[in-house]
Amino acid sequence: MRTNNAKWLIAVAAALALLGAACGDDASTDGTAAPGEDTATTGATGTGGGGGVDLSGSTFTVGSKEFTEQLILGQITIQVLEDAGAEVNDETGLVGSDTVRTALLAGDIDMYWEYTGTGWINHLGNTAPVVGEQEQYDAVAAADLEENGVTWLEPAPFNNTYAIAAATENAEELGVTSVADLAPLQESNPDSFTLCAAAEFLARDDGLPGLEEAYGFSFGDNVSELELGLVYTSVDAGDPCIFGEVFATDGRIAALDLTVLEDDQQFFPSYLPALNVREGVEGIDQLQELFAPVSAALDTATMQALNAQVDVDGEQPEDVARAFLEENGLIGS
């Protein structure tokens, strides 16, 4: 999981104050906002990608989970709202899906980006995914609105599903190309049948427990629980594990030349991200209009590149978010 860097936050806040600018969801970075830190910022009125939506006089609290992609999405949200004239409190970097969901339902935050598979299985308690990305989105959006008053805005078109990966040289040496290949490997080469994963994946129904049940194998004691960011480098090194949990849109997959195993049985649900807005927040139609072009611009290749700018190149999430928004004419126009 990502950790917070208080010194960096203080430096960024000071720099932004001098410039008169207003800037503010398992992978890791050191550039998060501290959970529970309430940083109010006020953005100048702008037209941006929302075609002239004016949120002057409105105040929102934006949350996110703690991993890189979520931090970027959180900063995108903050900057789009500020550009439309809203005042924004930054509560990004909350640790874990359950934590940020609880904060949303309790009214501690007003919005955050959630994934359709997580919402459907983990938050709404369903045991099986809905087949089809759009169908899964439609189902979770309708059910969550009816049961909890949570509005799911239009989803981005990238699917940040879970996956199992290995270093390419290890996958080739073991002859493993799919998750189904792991079951015979458990018998033929038990020393290589090792997994690194973060705590949330190890406990989720759509994580390791369900995966083992679906495919008929068990890693047993051959599991190393790591902070998610360390999973990628550990898998690359083959120590302490050969296989690991990854996110499909993580830029480190390509940077480290990892091979993603085919999910033969399509066990993992689709995980399209959509901005979730709690019941009681006013201006849903305006938020829909404001964020529709933002979601549309976040395809798979774009999200992978944004993640890599943080995890591989060492840039800060808010800088990556701002560059993306400016390059796509989504703020400041």
Domains in the chain, start-ordered, CATH in brackets?
6-158+274-327 (3.40.190.10), 162-260 (3.40.190.120)
Supply 30's token pair: 């050191």
Q: Mean pLDDT of all residues in the chain?
A: 87
DSSP symbols for 267-322: -SPP--EEEEE-TT-S-HHHHHHHHHHHHHH--HHHHHHHHHHHHTT---HHHHHH
Model pTM score: 0.80
More confident position, 20 or 209: 209
pLDDT at residue 153 greater than cutoff 90? yes
**pLDDT tens sequence across 270-310:** 999 999 999 999 999 999 999 999 999 999 999 999 999 99
**pLDDT tens sequence across 229-280:** 899 999 999 999 999 999 999 999 999 999 999 999 999 999 999 999 999 9
More confident position, 46 or 86: 86
More confident position, 52 or 89: 89
Q: What percent of the chain has pLDDT over 70?
A: 84
pLDDT at residue 45 greater than cutoff 50? no
Question: Residues near 276 by Cβ (< 8 Å), separated by ≥ 6?
Answer: 104, 111, 112, 113, 114, 119, 144, 150, 151, 152, 153
More confident position, 202 or 127: 202
pLDDT at residue 30 greater than cutoff 90? no
